[in-house]
Amino acid sequence: MSEQQLFTDLLKEGGIPTTEEAVRKEFEKEVEAENVAFTNKRDISPWWRMVTELITTPIMWLIRALVNSVMPQMYVKTASGEFLALHADGVNLEPKKKSKTQGFVQFKRADSSGSLEVAQNTAIQSPVINGRVYTLRTTAKVTFSDGLDTVLAPVEAEETGSAYNLAAGYYSVLPVLLPGITAVTNLSDWLTHPGTDDEDPEELRKRIRTQFMAVNQWHTDAVYRSLIAGFDGVNDDNVFFDSNAPRGPGTADAYVMFEIGNPDATFIQSIQRKITDEGNHGHGDDLKVFAMPETQHDITVTVHTIDGLSMDTKDHIKADVEHYVRAAFRENQDYQPTLVKPWNRFSFSLLGGELHKQLDLIRGVDFNLAYIVSQMDLPRINSLSVTVV
């Protein structure tokens, strides 16, 4: 049943007419009850038809407004925009706002002697991913000390959005070459603050429902889930609990997962401080917060294309397949494949079918793996080899 039909039925149950015919009948009942002495109320009378339309049409406008606009905003499930924000405010929540990705990248030089500076506002880019390039910029000047061949530099995305939370190794391009610098990359766990989009209404609805369950403030999973999901970059569905007393009675572990990218240890520590140091835990509770454990997998892909393609076209297909597979393993979000997740069986045959839909020029995709079965862990790519034949 559609939401519109549901609200219409609710009005009917309340005795409110919802069709023009029903409104007309109610109007005629009122006319009869008032003993109005009309002499030309026959159906063929233009005057009576005008009177009826003047009464029924505005009422139908009001009923449609109730069904389509007013009633949907009364419920968390169907509310939108500012009305959904009001529901959130009713349980002491605010919608998350878009923010920029922040973290660290590593610069490397060939000669470790002497000092070398990397200026503030230096650009670091990703390769082209589905037609888009992502750019970070250093937020402070950093210096290689004598004897050091690597240095970490703080960076921030040029624009807001979660798409900048790319996995390790993606930010590896210097659009302007720097003298003495041989390489740049974002390492594993490079994110100190994940970039975010304006909170999706469905995600806000989940947080509202979780907060509603947590209203008693007894320290159940709902309370801790609500606290953790309040951090930028953490969705309600991406908090998992081990409540089987991992360190004895009264203990539990919470595992946090990002949609893409890896959280830095300091980010996890900030969540832990929120719970432990700020007193947001129950008496005797011992809840530890961790990044989601990962398993590493070596993946080989053989792509069979239609005949007659140029090497340049095959190279583009190879890059697209690689980025698409990496998107499935939560390394970028420029494609929409089925994603790996904890407690799940990930099917490579399904991924192959999705590649067929994404790329018209391929006629076969072979993987070295059939499935990955995950527990309380997130499958990651250790190595990825794509061959186009």
- Cβ partners under 8 Å of residue 377, min gap 6: 292, 293, 294, 295, 342
Q: For domain 214-291, is the CATH number 3.30.300?
A: yes
State the DSSP code for 45: -
The predicted pLDDT at position 261 comes to 74
Q: Half-sphere exposure (CA, 13 Å, Cβ side) for 319?
A: 14
Which of 57-71, 184-198, 269-283 is least confident? 269-283
**What is the residue whose two structure tokens read 């186009």?**
388
Does residue 275 have a pLDDT over 70? yes
0.75 exceeded by the pTM? yes
Average pLDDT for residues 349-355, to the nearest whole number?
Answer: 97
User: Which architecture does CATH list for 100-193?
Assistant: Beta Barrel (2.40)
The predicted pLDDT at position 104 comes to 95
Q: What are phi and psi of 372, to 5 degrees?
A: -125, 120
The closest alpha carbon to 229, from 249, 200, 191, belongs to 200
Contact of 331 with 170, CB cutoff 8 Å: yes
Listed by start position, the domains of the chain span: 3-74, 100-193, 214-291, 296-388
Q: 16 in helix, strand or coil? A: coil
- Cβ partners under 8 Å of residue 7, min gap 6: 66, 67, 71, 72
